Amino acid sequence: MSGIVGIYHRNGAPLEQALLQSLVDFLSYRGPDSRECWMDGSIGLGHAMLRTTGESLGERQPASLDGRFWVAADARLDGRAEFISELQRSGRAVRPNAPDSELILEAYATWGTPCVERLRGDFSFAIWDARNKQLFCARDHFGIKPFYYVQGENLFLFSNTLNCVRMHPQVSDELNEAAIGDFLLFGLNCDNATTSFRDIQRLAPAHSLSISPEGVKIRRYWAPPTDGRIRYSKPEEYVENFQSLLEAAVADRLRTDRVGILMSGGLDSSSVAAVAKEVSAKGAETTDIRCYTHVFESLIPDREGEYAREVGEFLRLPVKFMVSDQTQLFEGWNDPEFSLPEPLEDSLFAGFLDSCRNISADCRVLLSGEGCDNLMGFQMWPYAGDLRRRGEWQRLLTEMTNYLWVRPFPWRGIRARFLRLIGKEPGVPVFPQWLAADFAQRTKLQERWKEWGEHPKLTFEHPIHPKAHASLSLPHWAQMFEQENAGWTPYPLEVRYPFMDLRIVNYLLALPPFPWFFEKMLLREAMAERIPERVRLRPKTPLQGEPAAAQLQKTGAEVLNQMHWSEDSDRFIERSALVPLHGKMSAEQIRTHLRPYCLNIWLQSARRVRYNMHVEAGNG
């Protein structure tokens, strides 16, 4: 989770070394091991190093190849052995223990900008090609590593940390009203290519960017596949191949001496813990594995700790419980050091920050089980339609018979449809009435609400996994990855997601959904005798309460009533129309009506942080 930054003056004007150095120094919290800069006339790269793999112990960045190519990267590559062999077959003399940044340089020297199509893993990087006067930037397939940039007439500025970009004196504080509107309506910016600031853009996942004398070119280099089709003759082959891919994904993320696992006590994270324990035992060097579980002891009913403890005892792994009952609404948000890069709707985010601080004191790498639910989202009818189109009548008859036999009667679905028909479906979002009228009008928020709220802008292209495939394009993924990144938290802790491995994604999108995704049968079969049976067969269990609602019931809304309001907020919010909050509201209602307060606090901190950053830069 190293920090990267770079400045390129497209008109050839020389860089100011003190400015580049101040940007690198700002990144020191996320890269405490070393800070280095490289400059050559109008181009400069900076890097703050966090060493998280064995190969990175001797790594230095910005790194060079033959004096022609320079790179600043925050990268962790998958399938290193195969990739190194591919480079060697292409004539490159690559060391087996070369750091990932060196492999990226070798790939660029071999294939040029198409090299990104061969990379696998989590990465955010920029490469300067001195001979061609080209800067090439890329972000990984799912946006796990952030990449922000500013493109002016003569200036190109980038970093994987938004607040670092804001330090540059030519970057304005002007807000992006479309992003603010999205936040107030939906809780996040729905445009993966923009940020909350007018001048600062976001390189979308699976995109690359090239800057040369000919201009700027942004290209999408990958899209989730729709044509994969894997069919085995024996059922056990599906499970065996999935096990093999999951082990490879975990092994590639276990290249460190100590790792934490964010374990909820559910199936997904417990599976990651089990595979990590097995992979570590097979390796030449054993990895120290520790588990961390968020629990509520009194605020809401919560049995996650009970299940997590059982998994820890079964796997013989230590589990540290992080109690979240005492986190207050907006706790710490007025702290002068608190500097969220963008608005956030989680009013209890301080609890997550505290857990990141505790975990980062123990280890630098944290594995997460996120991703499995979406990828194994079960849909029967598109699959049945595909079998009908292909004329696979025998398979269609067999699969439908088996499905109807095991499928529970859809009482909940019938009830939900009935409530929707009579207009009494609970928790349905409504267009907020507290939006400032002129702001809503000039940003066309009613149209935006219909586009994303009532009819989400998704293209269902996959023949049998339309929702799982489309979900990979949702902006929620990039938001989650960025909020768990050190640019937000802000602690030197790198979160890795084995289920978001490209090999697993491609495999799952090619499988028949029944029976393998019905109640996540594929993962349950793969974990037989590897985790406690009670956990393996446990159904998906959401929290038995809404923590924010429980805190409102416990402490009341006094913190909201006493809140100081920024004048900037009046540009977006009609305060007289705010809805009083109480603990009996639904989770959706609470999230919706807390957003004005979230934005108000963020607006104040954003102005304050900008001032503090420039004072520090001036003193440096």
More confident residue, 283 or 603: 603
pLDDT digit string, tens, across residues 14-34: 999 999 999 999 999 999 999
More confident residue, 358 or 332: 358
Residue 183 lies in a domain: no
- pLDDT given for residue 581 in this prediction: 87
Q: How confident is the model at residue 611 (pLDDT cuts 50, 70, 90)?
A: very low
Check whether residue 135 and residue 284 sit in a common domain: no
Percent of the chain with pLDDT over 90: 77
Check whether residue 242 and residue 314 sit in a common domain: yes
Residue 18 lies in a domain: yes
Predicted confidence (pLDDT) at residue 117 exceeds the cutoff of 50: yes
Q: If you average pLDDT over residues 572-579, what whole number do you get?
A: 95
- pLDDT given for residue 410 in this prediction: 54
Check whether residue 128 and residue 243 sit in a common domain: no
Tokens standing for residue 47: 């890097």
Percent of the chain with pLDDT over 70: 94
Check whether residue 211 and residue 239 sit in a common domain: no
Q: Kind of pairing, strands 34-40 and 215-220?
A: unpaired
- pLDDT given for residue 338 in this prediction: 73
- pLDDT given for residue 545 in this prediction: 82
Q: If you average pLDDT over residues 84-93, what whole number do you get?
A: 95
pLDDT digit string, tens, across residues 527-541: 999 999 999 999 888
- pLDDT given for residue 315 in this prediction: 97
Q: How confident is the model at residue 619 (pLDDT cuts 50, 70, 90)?
A: very low
Residue 259 lies in a domain: yes
pLDDT digit string, tens, across residues 441-462: 999 999 999 887 655 566 789 9
Per the structure, the count of domains in the chain is 2
- pLDDT given for residue 148 in this prediction: 98
Q: What is the mean pLDDT of the chain?
A: 91
Q: If you average pLDDT over residues 428-453, what whole number do you get?
A: 90
Residue showing tokens 């963020």: 602
Residue 175 lies in a domain: no
Q: If you average pLDDT over residues 316-336, what whole number do you get?
A: 90
Q: If you average pLDDT over residues 616-620, what whole number do you get?
A: 43
What CA–CA distance (Å, rounded) separates 582 from 590?
A: 8
Check whether residue 52 and residue 132 sit in a common domain: yes
CB-CB contact of 173 with 197 (8 Å): yes
Check whether residue 484 and residue 340 sit in a common domain: yes
- pLDDT given for residue 426 in this prediction: 53
Check whether residue 58 and residue 35 sit in a common domain: yes
Predicted confidence (pLDDT) at residue 45 exceeds the cutoff of 70: yes
Predicted confidence (pLDDT) at residue 409 exceeds the cutoff of 80: no
- pLDDT given for residue 456 in this prediction: 59
Q: Among residues 220, 252, 275, which one ends one of the domains?
A: 220
Q: Which CATH number do you get for residue 307?
A: 3.40.50.620
Q: How confident is the model at residue 164 (pLDDT cuts 50, 70, 90)?
A: very high
Q: How confident is the model at residue 615 (pLDDT cuts 50, 70, 90)?
A: very low
Check whether residue 15 and residue 105 sit in a common domain: yes
Q: What per-residue string of b and e applies to 504-530 under the rule 16 or more CB within 10 Å gives b?
A: bbebbbbbbbbbbbbbbbbbbbbbeeb
- pLDDT given for residue 607 in this prediction: 78
More confident residue, 263 or 419: 263
- pLDDT given for residue 610 in this prediction: 54
Check whether residue 114 and residue 90 sit in a common domain: yes
Encode 241-293 in three state secondary structure: HHHHHHHHHHHHCCCCCEEEEECCCCHHHHHHHHHHHHHHHHCCCCCEEEEEE
Q: Which CATH number do you get for residue 15?
A: 3.60.20.10
pLDDT digit string, tens, across residues 486-499: 999 989 999 999 99
- pLDDT given for residue 153 in this prediction: 87
Check whether residue 21 and residue 59 sit in a common domain: yes
529: left (phi over 0), alpha (psi -120 to 50) or beta: left
Q: If you average pLDDT over residues 190-196, what whole number do you get?
A: 95
Check whether residue 241 and residue 138 sit in a common domain: no
Q: If you average pLDDT over residues 413-417, what whole number do you get?
A: 48
What CA–CA distance (Å, rounded) separates 178 from 443?
A: 6
What CA–CA distance (Å, rounded) separates 262 from 495?
A: 9
Q: If you average pLDDT over residues 274-297, what whole number do you get?
A: 92
pLDDT digit string, tens, across residues 356-388: 999 999 999 999 999 999 999 999 999 999 999
Cis peptide bond prior to 490, omega within 30° of 0: yes
Residue 66 lies in a domain: yes
Q: If you average pLDDT over residues 584-589, what whole number do you get?
A: 84
Predicted confidence (pLDDT) at residue 425 exceeds the cutoff of 70: no
Residue 457 lies in a domain: no
Check whether residue 350 and residue 477 sit in a common domain: yes
Range of the domain at 344: 235-376+462-547
More confident residue, 340 or 415: 340
- pLDDT given for residue 458 in this prediction: 66
Residue 429 lies in a domain: no
Q: Among residues 167, 188, 220, which one ends one of the domains?
A: 220
Q: How confident is the model at residue 588 (pLDDT cuts 50, 70, 90)?
A: confident
Q: Among residues 160, 193, 220, which one ends one of the domains?
A: 220
Q: How confident is the model at residue 201 (pLDDT cuts 50, 70, 90)?
A: very high
What CA–CA distance (Å, rounded) separates 466 from 345?
A: 29
Find the helix packing angle between 17-26 and 587-619, rounded to 10°.
140
Residue 534 lies in a domain: yes
